Amino acid sequence: MQVTTLRAALAAGPAAPALPNRPVRAAWTALTARPAATAVLVPASAMLLLGLWGLDRDSMWRDEGVTHQVATRSLPEILRLLGSVDAVHGLYYVLMHAVLSVHPGEVALRLPSVLAATAAAGLVAALGVRLARPRVGLWAGLLYAATPVTGYYAQEGRSYALVAAGATGATLLLVRAVRHARVQDWCLYGATVTCTVLLHELAVLLVVAHAATLLLSWRRIDRRAWRGWAVAVCAALTALVPLVRLSMGQSGQVAWLETPGAGRAEALLKAFAGPTELVLTAALLLACVALNSPLERTGRLSLNAVALPLAVLPPAVLFTVSQNTPLYADRYVFFALAGAPLLAAAGAERIAGTVHRMRSRPRRRAVGALFGAAVVAVAFCWQLPLHRSDRTTAQRPDDPAAVAGLVDRELGHGDPVLFLPSIGRRTALAYPEEFRGVKDVALARTGAASGTLYGEEVGAGELRRRLAGLDHVWLLAEPYAVRDAWNPATAAERTKFTVVSEEFLLRDEFPTRSGVLRHYVRRPQDQPVGWPQPGK
Protein backbone atom coordinates (compact mmCIF):
# COMPACT_ATOMS: atom_id res chain seq x y z
CA MET A 1 0.00 0.00 0.00
CA GLN A 2 2.79 2.45 0.88
CA VAL A 3 4.60 1.70 -2.39
CA THR A 4 1.40 2.33 -4.34
CA THR A 5 0.84 5.62 -2.55
CA LEU A 6 4.44 6.71 -3.23
CA ARG A 7 4.14 5.91 -6.94
CA ALA A 8 0.89 7.87 -7.15
CA ALA A 9 2.53 10.89 -5.52
CA LEU A 10 5.49 10.77 -7.88
CA ALA A 11 3.22 10.49 -10.89
CA ALA A 12 1.26 13.54 -9.76
CA GLY A 13 4.40 15.70 -9.84
CA PRO A 14 5.51 18.34 -7.35
CA ALA A 15 2.89 19.43 -4.90
CA ALA A 16 1.52 22.96 -4.98
CA PRO A 17 3.16 25.28 -2.48
CA ALA A 18 1.65 25.39 0.95
CA LEU A 19 -0.50 28.49 1.29
CA PRO A 20 -0.48 29.93 4.80
CA ASN A 21 -3.91 31.53 5.11
CA ARG A 22 -7.26 31.97 3.45
CA PRO A 23 -6.63 35.36 1.71
CA VAL A 24 -3.47 34.03 0.06
CA ARG A 25 -5.29 30.86 -1.01
CA ALA A 26 -8.08 32.97 -2.48
CA ALA A 27 -5.61 35.12 -4.41
CA TRP A 28 -3.81 32.03 -5.69
CA THR A 29 -7.08 30.50 -6.81
CA ALA A 30 -8.03 33.67 -8.66
CA LEU A 31 -4.63 33.77 -10.33
CA THR A 32 -4.94 30.23 -11.63
CA ALA A 33 -8.67 30.31 -12.41
CA ARG A 34 -8.74 33.49 -14.54
CA PRO A 35 -5.24 33.94 -15.95
CA ALA A 36 -6.27 36.21 -18.84
CA ALA A 37 -8.00 38.74 -16.59
CA THR A 38 -5.12 38.59 -14.11
CA ALA A 39 -2.59 39.15 -16.89
CA VAL A 40 -4.32 42.42 -17.81
CA LEU A 41 -5.24 43.74 -14.37
CA VAL A 42 -1.86 43.25 -12.69
CA PRO A 43 0.17 45.41 -15.17
CA ALA A 44 -2.58 48.04 -15.24
CA SER A 45 -2.59 48.21 -11.43
CA ALA A 46 1.20 48.40 -11.31
CA MET A 47 1.20 51.24 -13.87
CA LEU A 48 -1.44 53.14 -11.93
CA LEU A 49 0.64 52.97 -8.75
CA LEU A 50 3.81 54.01 -10.57
CA GLY A 51 1.97 56.85 -12.28
CA LEU A 52 0.62 58.23 -9.02
CA TRP A 53 3.99 57.98 -7.30
CA GLY A 54 5.42 61.49 -7.01
CA LEU A 55 2.80 62.96 -9.35
CA ASP A 56 2.85 66.40 -7.70
CA ARG A 57 6.32 67.82 -8.45
CA ASP A 58 5.24 71.39 -7.58
CA SER A 59 6.44 72.60 -10.97
CA MET A 60 5.04 72.56 -14.50
CA TRP A 61 7.71 72.64 -17.17
CA ARG A 62 7.09 75.00 -20.08
CA ASP A 63 4.98 72.67 -22.29
CA GLU A 64 2.83 71.66 -19.33
CA GLY A 65 2.42 75.34 -18.55
CA VAL A 66 1.13 75.88 -22.09
CA THR A 67 -1.36 73.06 -21.61
CA HIS A 68 -2.54 74.59 -18.35
CA GLN A 69 -2.94 78.16 -19.57
CA VAL A 70 -4.62 77.16 -22.86
CA ALA A 71 -6.96 74.56 -21.36
CA THR A 72 -8.18 77.01 -18.72
CA ARG A 73 -9.40 79.41 -21.43
CA SER A 74 -12.97 79.29 -22.70
CA LEU A 75 -13.76 77.03 -25.67
CA PRO A 76 -14.18 79.99 -28.09
CA GLU A 77 -10.79 81.33 -26.97
CA ILE A 78 -9.19 77.90 -27.49
CA LEU A 79 -10.67 77.58 -30.98
CA ARG A 80 -9.46 81.07 -31.85
CA LEU A 81 -5.96 80.19 -30.72
CA LEU A 82 -5.86 77.01 -32.80
CA GLY A 83 -6.37 79.03 -35.95
CA SER A 84 -2.94 80.58 -35.51
CA VAL A 85 -0.88 78.19 -33.38
CA ASP A 86 -0.79 74.71 -31.78
CA ALA A 87 -3.51 73.18 -33.95
CA VAL A 88 -1.73 69.83 -33.63
CA HIS A 89 -2.71 69.74 -29.95
CA GLY A 90 -6.23 71.07 -30.44
CA LEU A 91 -8.20 67.98 -29.46
CA TYR A 92 -6.01 67.46 -26.42
CA TYR A 93 -6.57 71.05 -25.27
CA VAL A 94 -10.33 70.60 -25.58
CA LEU A 95 -10.20 67.39 -23.54
CA MET A 96 -8.05 69.07 -20.89
CA HIS A 97 -10.44 72.03 -20.81
CA ALA A 98 -13.11 69.62 -19.57
CA VAL A 99 -10.73 68.16 -16.98
CA LEU A 100 -9.34 71.44 -15.65
CA SER A 101 -12.76 73.06 -15.49
CA VAL A 102 -13.42 70.68 -12.60
CA HIS A 103 -10.15 71.29 -10.76
CA PRO A 104 -7.34 73.38 -12.32
CA GLY A 105 -4.21 72.03 -10.64
CA GLU A 106 -0.99 70.19 -11.44
CA VAL A 107 -2.28 66.80 -10.31
CA ALA A 108 -5.43 67.17 -12.41
CA LEU A 109 -3.24 68.31 -15.32
CA ARG A 110 -1.25 65.06 -15.25
CA LEU A 111 -3.94 62.63 -14.11
CA PRO A 112 -5.31 61.94 -17.65
CA SER A 113 -1.80 60.89 -18.69
CA VAL A 114 -1.56 58.55 -15.69
CA LEU A 115 -4.89 56.95 -16.57
CA ALA A 116 -3.88 56.68 -20.23
CA ALA A 117 -0.61 54.96 -19.32
CA THR A 118 -2.57 52.61 -17.05
CA ALA A 119 -4.85 51.73 -19.94
CA ALA A 120 -1.87 51.30 -22.28
CA ALA A 121 -0.17 48.84 -19.91
CA GLY A 122 -3.38 46.81 -19.73
CA LEU A 123 -3.78 46.92 -23.51
CA VAL A 124 -0.21 45.74 -24.07
CA ALA A 125 -0.97 42.84 -21.76
CA ALA A 126 -4.22 42.14 -23.63
CA LEU A 127 -2.27 42.02 -26.89
CA GLY A 128 0.09 39.45 -25.38
CA VAL A 129 -2.86 37.39 -24.16
CA ARG A 130 -4.59 37.53 -27.55
CA LEU A 131 -1.50 36.90 -29.67
CA ALA A 132 0.17 34.28 -27.46
CA ARG A 133 -1.00 33.32 -23.96
CA PRO A 134 -1.76 34.97 -20.60
CA ARG A 135 1.69 34.89 -19.10
CA VAL A 136 3.20 36.50 -22.20
CA GLY A 137 0.65 39.27 -21.76
CA LEU A 138 1.46 39.56 -18.06
CA TRP A 139 5.19 39.89 -18.69
CA ALA A 140 4.74 42.32 -21.59
CA GLY A 141 2.37 44.55 -19.61
CA LEU A 142 4.69 44.62 -16.61
CA LEU A 143 7.69 45.37 -18.82
CA TYR A 144 5.78 48.29 -20.35
CA ALA A 145 4.91 49.65 -16.91
CA ALA A 146 8.46 49.16 -15.60
CA THR A 147 10.13 51.01 -18.50
CA PRO A 148 11.29 54.41 -17.18
CA VAL A 149 10.20 56.33 -20.28
CA THR A 150 6.62 55.13 -19.69
CA GLY A 151 6.60 56.65 -16.24
CA TYR A 152 8.14 59.83 -17.62
CA TYR A 153 5.30 60.49 -20.06
CA ALA A 154 2.69 59.14 -17.66
CA GLN A 155 3.52 62.10 -15.42
CA GLU A 156 3.50 64.79 -18.06
CA GLY A 157 0.60 67.10 -18.84
CA ARG A 158 0.83 66.55 -22.59
CA SER A 159 -0.89 64.27 -25.08
CA TYR A 160 1.77 61.59 -25.58
CA ALA A 161 0.51 59.03 -23.06
CA LEU A 162 -2.99 59.39 -24.50
CA VAL A 163 -1.65 58.84 -28.01
CA ALA A 164 0.16 55.71 -26.80
CA ALA A 165 -3.03 54.34 -25.27
CA GLY A 166 -4.95 55.06 -28.46
CA ALA A 167 -2.32 53.44 -30.66
CA THR A 168 -2.15 50.32 -28.48
CA GLY A 169 -5.94 50.09 -28.36
CA ALA A 170 -6.14 50.45 -32.14
CA THR A 171 -3.58 47.65 -32.54
CA LEU A 172 -5.63 45.36 -30.32
CA LEU A 173 -8.75 46.24 -32.33
CA LEU A 174 -6.87 45.45 -35.54
CA VAL A 175 -6.10 41.96 -34.25
CA ARG A 176 -9.74 41.51 -33.30
CA ALA A 177 -11.11 42.88 -36.58
CA VAL A 178 -8.85 40.67 -38.71
CA ARG A 179 -9.89 37.66 -36.69
CA HIS A 180 -13.66 38.19 -36.84
CA ALA A 181 -14.01 40.37 -39.99
CA ARG A 182 -17.15 42.08 -38.67
CA VAL A 183 -18.23 45.53 -39.82
CA GLN A 184 -18.63 46.79 -36.26
CA ASP A 185 -15.05 45.79 -35.43
CA TRP A 186 -13.66 47.76 -38.35
CA CYS A 187 -15.82 50.76 -37.43
CA LEU A 188 -14.46 50.69 -33.90
CA TYR A 189 -10.91 50.33 -35.22
CA GLY A 190 -11.38 53.26 -37.59
CA ALA A 191 -12.85 55.45 -34.85
CA THR A 192 -9.93 54.69 -32.53
CA VAL A 193 -7.34 55.44 -35.20
CA THR A 194 -9.14 58.69 -36.02
CA CYS A 195 -9.13 59.86 -32.40
CA THR A 196 -5.49 58.89 -32.01
CA VAL A 197 -4.23 60.78 -35.06
CA LEU A 198 -6.31 63.81 -34.11
CA LEU A 199 -4.61 63.83 -30.72
CA HIS A 200 -1.29 64.12 -32.58
CA GLU A 201 -1.07 63.95 -36.34
CA LEU A 202 2.30 62.14 -36.41
CA ALA A 203 0.51 59.16 -34.87
CA VAL A 204 -0.54 58.52 -38.47
CA LEU A 205 2.68 56.50 -38.64
CA LEU A 206 0.71 53.85 -36.77
CA VAL A 207 -1.07 53.16 -40.06
CA VAL A 208 2.29 52.34 -41.66
CA ALA A 209 2.98 49.78 -38.92
CA HIS A 210 -0.46 48.21 -39.32
CA ALA A 211 -0.06 48.01 -43.10
CA ALA A 212 3.22 46.13 -42.59
CA THR A 213 1.50 43.79 -40.12
CA LEU A 214 -1.10 42.88 -42.72
CA LEU A 215 1.52 42.44 -45.44
CA LEU A 216 3.55 40.11 -43.23
CA SER A 217 0.40 38.02 -42.72
CA TRP A 218 -1.00 38.30 -46.24
CA ARG A 219 -1.47 34.57 -46.67
CA ARG A 220 -3.90 34.49 -43.75
CA ILE A 221 -5.69 37.74 -44.58
CA ASP A 222 -8.70 37.56 -46.89
CA ARG A 223 -10.07 40.31 -49.11
CA ARG A 224 -12.75 41.30 -46.61
CA ALA A 225 -10.10 42.12 -44.03
CA TRP A 226 -8.09 44.18 -46.49
CA ARG A 227 -11.23 46.00 -47.61
CA GLY A 228 -12.34 46.71 -44.04
CA TRP A 229 -8.91 48.00 -43.07
CA ALA A 230 -8.64 50.21 -46.16
CA VAL A 231 -12.05 51.80 -45.56
CA ALA A 232 -11.28 52.43 -41.87
CA VAL A 233 -7.90 53.99 -42.65
CA CYS A 234 -9.30 56.15 -45.46
CA ALA A 235 -11.95 57.49 -43.09
CA ALA A 236 -9.29 58.33 -40.49
CA LEU A 237 -7.04 60.02 -43.04
CA THR A 238 -9.94 62.02 -44.41
CA ALA A 239 -10.70 63.32 -40.93
CA LEU A 240 -7.03 64.21 -40.52
CA VAL A 241 -6.74 66.30 -43.71
CA PRO A 242 -8.12 69.58 -42.26
CA LEU A 243 -5.76 69.32 -39.29
CA VAL A 244 -2.77 68.68 -41.56
CA ARG A 245 -3.63 71.66 -43.75
CA LEU A 246 -4.00 73.91 -40.71
CA SER A 247 -0.83 72.73 -39.01
CA MET A 248 1.23 73.08 -42.20
CA GLY A 249 0.64 76.80 -41.94
CA GLN A 250 2.05 76.65 -38.42
CA SER A 251 5.22 74.77 -39.34
CA GLY A 252 7.34 77.43 -37.70
CA GLN A 253 6.55 75.77 -34.37
CA VAL A 254 8.87 72.87 -35.22
CA ALA A 255 11.61 75.03 -36.72
CA TRP A 256 13.70 74.30 -33.63
CA LEU A 257 13.98 70.60 -34.52
CA GLU A 258 17.31 69.44 -35.91
CA THR A 259 18.27 66.60 -38.24
CA PRO A 260 18.57 63.51 -36.03
CA GLY A 261 21.79 61.54 -36.04
CA ALA A 262 23.07 58.26 -34.65
CA GLY A 263 23.01 59.60 -31.12
CA ARG A 264 19.26 60.18 -31.26
CA ALA A 265 18.70 56.66 -32.61
CA GLU A 266 20.76 55.18 -29.77
CA ALA A 267 18.86 57.26 -27.21
CA LEU A 268 15.53 55.98 -28.54
CA LEU A 269 16.75 52.39 -28.48
CA LYS A 270 17.73 52.76 -24.82
CA ALA A 271 14.43 54.42 -24.01
CA PHE A 272 12.47 51.54 -25.56
CA ALA A 273 14.60 48.55 -24.53
CA GLY A 274 16.23 49.77 -21.32
CA PRO A 275 18.44 52.72 -20.39
CA THR A 276 20.83 50.60 -18.31
CA GLU A 277 23.29 48.34 -20.11
CA LEU A 278 22.19 45.13 -18.37
CA VAL A 279 18.48 45.62 -19.05
CA LEU A 280 19.16 46.78 -22.62
CA THR A 281 21.26 43.71 -23.39
CA ALA A 282 18.71 41.33 -21.89
CA ALA A 283 15.81 42.95 -23.77
CA LEU A 284 17.62 42.83 -27.10
CA LEU A 285 18.60 39.20 -26.61
CA LEU A 286 15.01 38.26 -25.77
CA ALA A 287 13.73 40.12 -28.83
CA CYS A 288 16.25 38.28 -31.01
CA VAL A 289 15.08 34.95 -29.59
CA ALA A 290 11.46 35.89 -30.35
CA LEU A 291 12.28 36.82 -33.93
CA ASN A 292 14.48 33.77 -34.52
CA SER A 293 12.04 31.31 -32.99
CA PRO A 294 8.51 32.75 -33.28
CA LEU A 295 5.71 31.60 -31.03
CA GLU A 296 2.93 29.67 -32.68
CA ARG A 297 -0.03 31.69 -33.92
CA THR A 298 -3.25 31.81 -31.93
CA GLY A 299 -5.13 33.63 -34.70
CA ARG A 300 -4.60 35.15 -38.12
CA LEU A 301 -1.83 37.48 -36.91
CA SER A 302 1.34 36.39 -35.15
CA LEU A 303 2.88 38.29 -32.26
CA ASN A 304 6.01 39.09 -34.25
CA ALA A 305 3.99 40.42 -37.19
CA VAL A 306 2.21 42.83 -34.87
CA ALA A 307 4.98 43.84 -32.45
CA LEU A 308 7.97 44.26 -34.77
CA PRO A 309 6.42 46.78 -37.22
CA LEU A 310 4.89 48.70 -34.32
CA ALA A 311 8.22 49.05 -32.52
CA VAL A 312 10.40 49.75 -35.56
CA LEU A 313 8.53 51.40 -38.43
CA PRO A 314 7.11 54.63 -36.89
CA PRO A 315 10.51 55.73 -35.51
CA ALA A 316 12.36 54.56 -38.63
CA VAL A 317 10.02 56.38 -41.03
CA LEU A 318 10.06 59.62 -39.04
CA PHE A 319 13.83 59.38 -38.63
CA THR A 320 14.26 58.97 -42.39
CA VAL A 321 11.88 61.80 -43.30
CA SER A 322 13.66 64.06 -40.81
CA GLN A 323 16.93 63.78 -42.71
CA ASN A 324 15.42 66.26 -45.20
CA THR A 325 12.61 67.86 -43.18
CA PRO A 326 13.38 67.72 -39.46
CA LEU A 327 10.27 66.51 -37.63
CA TYR A 328 11.78 63.96 -35.29
CA ALA A 329 11.42 64.11 -31.53
CA ASP A 330 11.44 61.07 -29.24
CA ARG A 331 8.05 61.91 -27.75
CA TYR A 332 6.40 61.92 -31.19
CA VAL A 333 7.03 58.17 -31.55
CA PHE A 334 6.56 57.18 -27.91
CA PHE A 335 3.42 55.26 -28.93
CA ALA A 336 5.64 52.73 -30.75
CA LEU A 337 7.08 51.52 -27.44
CA ALA A 338 4.24 49.00 -27.05
CA GLY A 339 5.88 46.63 -29.52
CA ALA A 340 9.17 46.29 -27.62
CA PRO A 341 7.91 44.58 -24.42
CA LEU A 342 5.79 42.21 -26.50
CA LEU A 343 8.90 40.99 -28.32
CA ALA A 344 10.87 40.66 -25.08
CA ALA A 345 8.04 38.72 -23.42
CA ALA A 346 7.75 36.41 -26.43
CA GLY A 347 11.47 35.69 -26.24
CA ALA A 348 11.18 34.91 -22.54
CA GLU A 349 8.30 32.56 -23.29
CA ARG A 350 10.31 30.76 -25.92
CA ILE A 351 13.27 30.37 -23.56
CA ALA A 352 11.00 28.99 -20.87
CA GLY A 353 10.20 26.19 -23.32
CA THR A 354 7.88 24.34 -20.96
CA VAL A 355 4.47 25.64 -21.97
CA HIS A 356 3.56 22.47 -23.88
CA ARG A 357 4.00 20.40 -20.70
CA MET A 358 2.06 22.77 -18.45
CA ARG A 359 -1.19 23.26 -20.28
CA SER A 360 -3.05 20.84 -18.06
CA ARG A 361 -1.54 22.16 -14.84
CA PRO A 362 -2.83 25.66 -14.07
CA ARG A 363 -0.89 26.01 -10.84
CA ARG A 364 2.40 25.33 -12.58
CA ARG A 365 1.53 27.89 -15.23
CA ALA A 366 0.86 30.37 -12.44
CA VAL A 367 4.23 29.61 -10.84
CA GLY A 368 5.98 30.25 -14.16
CA ALA A 369 4.08 33.50 -14.62
CA LEU A 370 5.01 34.66 -11.13
CA PHE A 371 8.66 33.83 -11.74
CA GLY A 372 8.68 35.97 -14.87
CA ALA A 373 6.92 38.78 -13.01
CA ALA A 374 9.59 38.56 -10.31
CA VAL A 375 12.30 38.96 -12.97
CA VAL A 376 10.56 42.12 -14.23
CA ALA A 377 10.40 43.37 -10.64
CA VAL A 378 14.16 42.85 -10.32
CA ALA A 379 14.70 44.82 -13.55
CA PHE A 380 12.51 47.59 -12.14
CA CYS A 381 14.50 47.70 -8.92
CA TRP A 382 17.72 47.80 -10.95
CA GLN A 383 16.41 50.92 -12.70
CA LEU A 384 14.82 52.41 -9.58
CA PRO A 385 17.25 55.39 -9.46
CA LEU A 386 16.07 56.37 -12.95
CA HIS A 387 12.43 56.19 -11.89
CA ARG A 388 13.17 58.34 -8.86
CA SER A 389 15.05 60.97 -10.86
CA ASP A 390 12.26 61.15 -13.45
CA ARG A 391 9.94 62.27 -10.65
CA THR A 392 12.01 65.35 -9.89
CA THR A 393 12.00 68.73 -11.59
CA ALA A 394 15.69 68.27 -12.46
CA GLN A 395 14.76 65.75 -15.17
CA ARG A 396 12.41 68.17 -16.93
CA PRO A 397 13.70 70.70 -19.47
CA ASP A 398 13.10 73.63 -17.13
CA ASP A 399 11.62 74.68 -13.79
CA PRO A 400 9.33 77.71 -14.17
CA ALA A 401 8.03 77.28 -10.61
CA ALA A 402 11.45 78.25 -9.25
CA VAL A 403 11.42 81.43 -11.36
CA ALA A 404 7.85 82.25 -10.30
CA GLY A 405 8.78 81.75 -6.65
CA LEU A 406 11.72 84.12 -7.11
CA VAL A 407 9.42 86.77 -8.60
CA ASP A 408 6.97 86.31 -5.73
CA ARG A 409 9.75 86.93 -3.19
CA GLU A 410 11.53 89.84 -4.87
CA LEU A 411 8.85 91.89 -6.65
CA GLY A 412 6.28 94.05 -4.91
CA HIS A 413 2.82 95.21 -5.92
CA GLY A 414 3.00 97.47 -8.97
CA ASP A 415 6.62 96.67 -9.83
CA PRO A 416 7.23 96.86 -13.61
CA VAL A 417 8.58 93.80 -15.39
CA LEU A 418 9.81 93.10 -18.91
CA PHE A 419 9.93 89.63 -20.44
CA LEU A 420 12.88 89.03 -22.74
CA PRO A 421 11.89 87.64 -25.16
CA SER A 422 8.09 87.73 -24.97
CA ILE A 423 7.93 83.92 -24.78
CA GLY A 424 9.23 84.29 -21.21
CA ARG A 425 5.71 85.40 -20.30
CA ARG A 426 4.79 81.71 -20.21
CA THR A 427 6.08 81.59 -16.62
CA ALA A 428 3.61 84.27 -15.60
CA LEU A 429 0.79 82.50 -17.44
CA ALA A 430 1.58 79.17 -15.77
CA TYR A 431 1.84 80.74 -12.29
CA PRO A 432 -0.40 83.82 -12.32
CA GLU A 433 -0.68 84.02 -8.52
CA GLU A 434 3.04 84.72 -8.13
CA PHE A 435 2.79 87.55 -10.68
CA ARG A 436 -0.40 89.07 -9.32
CA GLY A 437 -0.08 92.83 -8.96
CA VAL A 438 3.04 93.00 -11.14
CA LYS A 439 2.88 95.46 -14.06
CA ASP A 440 3.67 93.90 -17.46
CA VAL A 441 5.26 96.89 -19.23
CA ALA A 442 5.24 95.60 -22.83
CA LEU A 443 1.87 93.82 -22.92
CA ALA A 444 -0.78 95.20 -25.27
CA ARG A 445 -3.35 92.36 -25.25
CA THR A 446 -3.45 89.12 -23.32
CA GLY A 447 -3.09 85.76 -25.02
CA ALA A 448 -6.78 84.94 -24.53
CA ALA A 449 -7.85 88.29 -26.01
CA SER A 450 -5.43 88.17 -28.95
CA GLY A 451 -5.77 84.49 -29.84
CA THR A 452 -2.07 83.85 -29.19
CA LEU A 453 -0.12 81.79 -26.68
CA TYR A 454 1.76 84.58 -24.94
CA GLY A 455 -0.14 87.75 -25.82
CA GLU A 456 0.62 90.69 -28.08
CA GLU A 457 3.14 93.37 -27.17
CA VAL A 458 3.20 97.07 -27.99
CA GLY A 459 5.42 98.43 -30.75
CA ALA A 460 8.91 99.78 -30.26
CA GLY A 461 7.81 103.42 -30.02
CA GLU A 462 5.13 102.80 -27.40
CA LEU A 463 7.53 100.61 -25.45
CA ARG A 464 10.09 103.42 -25.31
CA ARG A 465 7.41 105.79 -24.04
CA ARG A 466 6.37 103.38 -21.29
CA LEU A 467 9.95 102.76 -20.20
CA ALA A 468 10.73 106.47 -20.16
CA GLY A 469 8.44 107.00 -17.18
CA LEU A 470 10.04 104.32 -15.00
CA ASP A 471 12.74 104.82 -12.39
CA HIS A 472 13.38 101.08 -12.15
CA VAL A 473 12.38 97.92 -13.99
CA TRP A 474 12.68 94.16 -13.50
CA LEU A 475 13.83 92.07 -16.45
CA LEU A 476 12.90 88.39 -16.61
CA ALA A 477 15.02 86.88 -19.36
CA GLU A 478 15.33 83.41 -20.82
CA PRO A 479 18.81 81.93 -20.19
CA TYR A 480 19.87 82.35 -23.82
CA ALA A 481 18.71 86.00 -23.93
CA VAL A 482 21.48 87.17 -21.59
CA ARG A 483 24.26 85.65 -23.68
CA ASP A 484 26.38 87.89 -25.87
CA ALA A 485 25.64 85.81 -28.98
CA TRP A 486 21.85 86.29 -28.76
CA ASN A 487 20.35 88.50 -31.46
CA PRO A 488 16.77 89.77 -30.86
CA ALA A 489 14.49 88.89 -33.77
CA THR A 490 11.97 91.76 -33.58
CA ALA A 491 12.13 95.53 -33.20
CA ALA A 492 10.30 95.35 -29.87
CA GLU A 493 12.77 92.82 -28.47
CA ARG A 494 15.70 94.93 -29.67
CA THR A 495 14.12 97.97 -28.02
CA LYS A 496 13.89 96.18 -24.68
CA PHE A 497 17.51 95.21 -24.92
CA THR A 498 18.72 98.63 -26.06
CA VAL A 499 16.73 100.84 -23.69
CA VAL A 500 17.50 98.76 -20.63
CA SER A 501 21.23 98.64 -21.38
CA GLU A 502 21.48 102.36 -22.27
CA GLU A 503 19.12 104.01 -19.77
CA PHE A 504 19.31 101.71 -16.73
CA LEU A 505 21.96 100.30 -14.40
CA LEU A 506 22.00 96.72 -13.16
CA ARG A 507 21.48 96.59 -9.39
CA ASP A 508 20.72 92.92 -8.64
CA GLU A 509 20.74 89.64 -10.53
CA PHE A 510 19.12 86.31 -9.60
CA PRO A 511 20.09 83.50 -12.01
CA THR A 512 18.28 80.13 -12.19
CA ARG A 513 18.56 77.31 -14.69
CA SER A 514 15.22 78.35 -16.22
CA GLY A 515 15.67 82.10 -16.39
CA VAL A 516 17.48 85.16 -15.07
CA LEU A 517 15.75 87.85 -13.00
CA ARG A 518 17.50 91.24 -13.05
CA HIS A 519 16.66 94.48 -11.29
CA TYR A 520 17.61 97.70 -13.09
CA VAL A 521 17.47 101.30 -11.82
CA ARG A 522 17.50 104.42 -13.96
CA ARG A 523 20.98 105.62 -14.87
CA PRO A 524 21.94 109.06 -13.49
CA GLN A 525 22.08 111.70 -16.20
CA ASP A 526 25.72 112.50 -15.48
CA GLN A 527 26.83 108.85 -15.87
CA PRO A 528 27.61 107.97 -19.48
CA VAL A 529 26.68 104.71 -21.17
CA GLY A 530 29.37 102.09 -20.66
CA TRP A 531 30.11 103.21 -17.10
CA PRO A 532 30.83 100.17 -14.90
CA GLN A 533 27.60 98.80 -13.49
CA PRO A 534 27.10 97.46 -9.97
CA GLY A 535 27.33 93.69 -9.88
CA LYS A 536 29.55 93.49 -12.96
**How, if at all, do strands 443-445 and 439-440 pair?**
unpaired
Q: Which amino acid is at 379?
A: A
What dihedral angle (degrees, nearest 10) is formed by the CA atoms of 14, 17, 22, 27? -90
Confidence (pLDDT) at 529: 55
Please list the residue range(s) of the chain that carry CATH number 3.40.50.
400-522
pLDDT in tens, 487-513: 887 888 899 988 998 899 999 999 999
By the 8 A CB rule, do 533 and 506 touch? yes
Residue 516 host element (H or E): strand 515-522
- At 485, the pLDDT band (50, 70, 90 cuts) reads confident
DSSP for 314-379 reads: HHHHHHHHTTTS----GGGGGGGGGHHHHHHHHHHHHHH--HHHHTT-HHHHHHHHHHHHHHHHHH
Mean pLDDT score, 237-253: 91
Angle between helix axes 303-321 and 106-131 (nearest 10 degrees) is 130
CA 500 from centroid of its chain's CA atoms: 40
DSSP 428: H
Angle between helix axes 22-33 and 35-52 (nearest 10 degrees) is 110
How far, in Å, CA of 333 to CA of 340, rounded? Answer: 13
Name every residue whose Cβ is closer than 8 Å to that of residue 230 and which is 6 or more positions away in sequence: none
- At 486, the pLDDT band (50, 70, 90 cuts) reads confident
Highest mean pLDDT among 351-360, 393-402, 527-536: 393-402
CATH of domain 400-522: 3.40.50
Residue 40 has pLDDT above 80, yes or no: yes
How far, in Å, CA of 421 to CA of 106, rounded? Answer: 26
Q: Which amino acid is at 381?
A: C
How far, in Å, CA of 75 to CA of 33, rounded? Answer: 49
Residue 436 or 299, more confident: 436
Task: Return the percentage of the chain with pLDDT > 90, whole number.
Answer: 71
Within 10 A of 469 (CB to CB), how many other CB atoms are there?
Answer: 8
Residue 10 has pLDDT above 50, yes or no: no
Residue 342: CA count within 13 A, CB half-sphere? 34
Residue 353 has pLDDT above 80, yes or no: no
- At 16, the pLDDT band (50, 70, 90 cuts) reads very low
Residue 368 has pLDDT above 80, yes or no: no
For residue 309, give the 3-state DSSP assignment. Answer: helix
pLDDT in tens, 316-343: 999 999 999 999 999 999 999 999 999 9
| Least confident interval from 49-53, 233-237, 489-493 | 489-493
Task: Return the percentage of the chain with pLDDT > 70, whole number.
Answer: 89
Residue 97, exposed/middle/buried by CB under 10 A (0-12, 13-18, 19+)? middle
**How, if at all, do strands 439-440 and 416-420 pair?**
parallel
Confidence (pLDDT) at 24: 55
Residue 3 has pLDDT above 90, yes or no: no
How far, in Å, CA of 491 to CA of 280, rounded? Answer: 50
Residue 527 has pLDDT above 80, yes or no: no
Confidence (pLDDT) at 388: 93
How far, in Å, CA of 284 to CA of 286, rounded? Answer: 5
- At 1, the pLDDT band (50, 70, 90 cuts) reads very low
How far, in Å, CA of 218 to CA of 212, rounded? Answer: 10
- At 361, the pLDDT band (50, 70, 90 cuts) reads low
- At 461, the pLDDT band (50, 70, 90 cuts) reads very high
List alpha helices for 251-336, DSSP H.
Answer: 262-273, 277-292, 303-321
pLDDT in tens, 88-116: 999 999 999 999 999 888 999 999 999 99
